[in-house]
Structure 1
Amino acid sequence: MDLLTDKTASLSFFPGFRRLDVTVDDVRFAGVIGGNGAPLLLLHGYPQTHIAWRKIAHDLARSWTLIIPDLPGYGASQIGTTKPRWTKQRVARSLTALMQHLGYQKFAVVGHDRGARAGFRLALDYPDLVTAFSSLAVVPVLDAMSAVDHQFAARNFHWFFLSQPAGLPEKLLAAAPDAFIEHSLATMANGLENIEPQALAIYREAFRNPKVRHAICEDYRAAMNEDMDLDRIDRTSGKKLLCPVQVLWPTSDPRNTAETQIEIWSQWANDVTGMTIHAGHLLPEESPQAVIAALRSFLPIRV
Structure 2
Amino acid sequence: MDLLTDKTASMSFFPGFRRLDVTVDDVQFAGVIGGNGAPLLLLHGYPQTHIAWRKIAHDLARSWTLIIPDLPGYGASQIRTTKPRWTKQRVARSLTALMQHLGYQKFAVVGHDRGARAGYRLALDYPDLVTAFSSLAVVPVLDAMSAVDHQFAARNFHWFFLSQPAGLPEKLLAAAPDAFIEHSLATMANGLENIEPQALAIYREAFRNPKVRHAICEDYRAAMNEDMDLDRIDRTSGKKLLCPVQVLWPTSDPRNTAKTPIEIWSQWANDVTGMTIHAGHLLPEESPQAVIAALRSFLPIRV
Give the TM-score normalised by structure 1: 0.98
Q: Deviations over 1:122-159 (max 9, x none)?
A: 00000000000000001010000000000000000000
Percent identity over the alignment is 98
Q: Post-superposition shift, 1:281?
A: 0.1
Aligned residue for 1:119? 119
Residues in 2 aligned to 1:40 and 1:253: alpha-carbon distance in whole angstroms: 27
- Work out the CA distance in 1 between the residues paired with 2:114 and 2:174: 22
Quickly say closer, same or farther: Cα 1:247–1:259, change in 2 above 3 A: farther
Mapped contact 1:3–1:202 kept (Cα < 8 A): no
2:148 and 2:256 in contact (8 A); partners too: no
Deviation at 1:3? Answer: 6.4
Confirm or deny that 1:251 pairs with 2:258.
no
Give the Cα–Cα distance (whole angstroms) in 1 for the partners of residues 5 and 150 of structure 2.
40
Question: For the structure 1 residues 279 and 6, does the alpha-carbon distance in structure 2 shift closer, same or farther, using more than 3 Å as the test?
Answer: closer
Structure-2 change in CA distance of 1:135 and 1:4 (3 Å):
farther
Distance 1:33 1:154, change over 3 A: same
1:254 Cα deviation (Å)? Answer: 2.6
Decide whether aligned partners of structure 1 residues 257 and 229 sit closer, same or farther in structure 2, where only a CA change above 3 A counts: closer
Residues 182-235 of structure 1, C-alpha deviation per residue, up to 9 Å, x if partnerless?
A: 000000000000000000000000000000000000000000000000000000
Cα distance in 2 between the residues matched to 1:6 and 1:92: 24
Aligned residue-pair number: 303
Distance of 2:54 and 2:206 partners within structure 1: 16
User: Structure 1 residues 78, 283: CA separation in 2 closer, same or farther (over 3 Å shift)?
Assistant: same
Verify the 8 A CA contact 2:19 2:31 in the aligned structure 1: yes
Task: Determine if contact 2:18/2:33 at 8 Å carries over to the other structure.
Answer: yes
Over 3 Å counting, the alpha-carbon distance change for 1:142 and 1:6 in structure 2 is: closer
Contact between 1:248 and 1:258, CA under 8 Å: does it hold in 2? no
Q: Contact 1:38–1:301 at 8 Å: present in 2 too?
A: yes
CA distance in 1, matches of 2:72, 2:258: 29
| CA distance in structure 1 between the partners assigned to 2:132 and 2:154 by the alignment | 34
TM-score, normalization: structure 2?
0.98
Q: Which stretch shows the higher mean deviation, 255-264 or 167-176?
A: 255-264
Contact 1:39/1:104 (8 A) holds in 2: yes
SS in 2 for 1:81: coil
Distance in 1 of aligned mates of 2:258 and 2:209: 36
Counterpart contact for 2:40–2:65, Cα < 8 Å: yes
> Hey, what's the Cα distance between the residues in 1 that align with 2:278 and 2:257?
11
CA drift of 1:5 comes to: 2.8
Partner SS state of residue 259, structure 1: coil
Decide whether aligned partners of structure 1 residues 28 and 203 sit closer, same or farther in structure 2, where only a CA change above 3 A counts: same
Gaps of 5+ in 1: none
Instruction: Write the distance in 1 (CA, Å) between the matches of 2:138 and 2:164.
Output: 22
8 Å Cα contact 1:17/1:34 also seen in 2: yes
Q: 1:193 to 1:80 in 2, by over 3 A?
A: same
Q: Distance in 2 between matches of 1:175 and 1:133?
A: 38
Q: Which runs of 5+ in 2 are unaligned?
A: none
- Tell me by how many angstroms 1:256 deviates: 6.0
Residues in 1 aligned to 2:274 and 2:4: alpha-carbon distance in whole angstroms:
35
CA distance in 1, matches of 2:29, 2:177: 23
CA gap of 1:3–1:83, structure 2 versus 1, over 3 A, is closer
Q: CA deviation at 1:42?
A: 0.1
